[in-house]
Amino acid sequence: MFSEGIWRNWGRDTFIALRGLLLLTGRFDDARHLLLTYGSCLRHGLIPNLLAGPRYNARDAIWFWLYSLSQYTQLAPNGCGILSENIQGKPLHSIIKAAINTHLNGLSFREYNAGYQLDRVMSDEGFNNKIGVDSKTGFVFGGNRWNCGTWMDKMGSSENAGNKGHPGSPRDGSAVELIGLSRATIHWLIQMIEKGFYPFNEQKQILQDWLTKIDENFEKQFWIDENNNQSQYVNRRNIYKDTVNSSLQYTDYQFRPNFLIAAVIVSLD
């Protein structure tokens, strides 16, 4: 289904795969074209989940895109030069800054053309989106229980089963892999400022403070140690939470594979 029609171009899936399929295999021109094309579509601080339309209903695609950009600058010949390339009259580094600032300032928006004609199974509340950064922890957050803004995005569609409009995995709040991706991105941008490729020195201290908050709070907020009794929903210990501050609460404490994404990204950082 992902190979034809409107389903051919997915932001999240493209940039999850880009490092392995294009960068590590030396297909740098293909990677560059994808990075620039999706960057030209930035809106609401996000890149499209579905390029046809487009639909801005994935809050993780932007972080996989930014992480892929960081990897391109490290692996491609003269890779840092991509940050100065112009897209629709703007250098790419200005588009990156816009995405970062939108998250720092926070944004609530409703999907364009929301309704049955856009998504036949989503509830009305599901078309409402928000993104932001927690001022205490530095964790990016967003979404609500009626939409699915990360890669575990199966939306219930059966009236007979009673799950129509109910995401199987809403994962609102702060998702563990997005904390790993955002941390790696912040660290990379600080390096790009120091090397002169990201010309926003005034943002350096803001990024450094953001990075420090994540480092100070990640283990405290995500790790469930063997003595943890802070919630009625703790049923397994010595694991990392899947989310923090989800509206359904119990989903924070589920043992799921997403922490492995954060672990791999941090190890490569």
Cβ atoms within 10 Å, residue 31: 26
Which residues touch 114 (CB under 8 Å, ≥6 apart)? 124, 127
- The pLDDT assigned to 266 comes to 83
Query: Nearest-CA neighbor of 186 among 212, 216, 218?
Result: 212
- The pLDDT assigned to 229 comes to 82
Whether the CB-CB separation of 245 and 252 falls below 8 Å is answered with yes
Q: How far apart are CA 207 and CA 44, in angstroms?
A: 20
Which pair of tokens denotes residue 23?
Answer: 């960068």
**Which domains are present in the chain?**
5-268 (1.50.10)
Give the pLDDT band (50/70/90) at residue 1.
low
- The pLDDT assigned to 6 comes to 54
Of residues 64 and 163, the one with the higher pLDDT is 64
- The pLDDT assigned to 3 comes to 62
Given a cut of 60, whether residue 7 has pLDDT beyond it is no
Q: How far apart are CA 57 and CA 172, in angstroms?
A: 12
- The pLDDT assigned to 222 comes to 96
Its pTM stands at 0.95
pLDDT single digits (tens) 119-163: 899 999 999 999 999 999 999 999 999 999 999 888 988 999 988
Query: Nearest-CA neighbor of 12 among 68, 53, 96?
Result: 68
Round the average pLDDT of the chain to a whole number and report it: 93
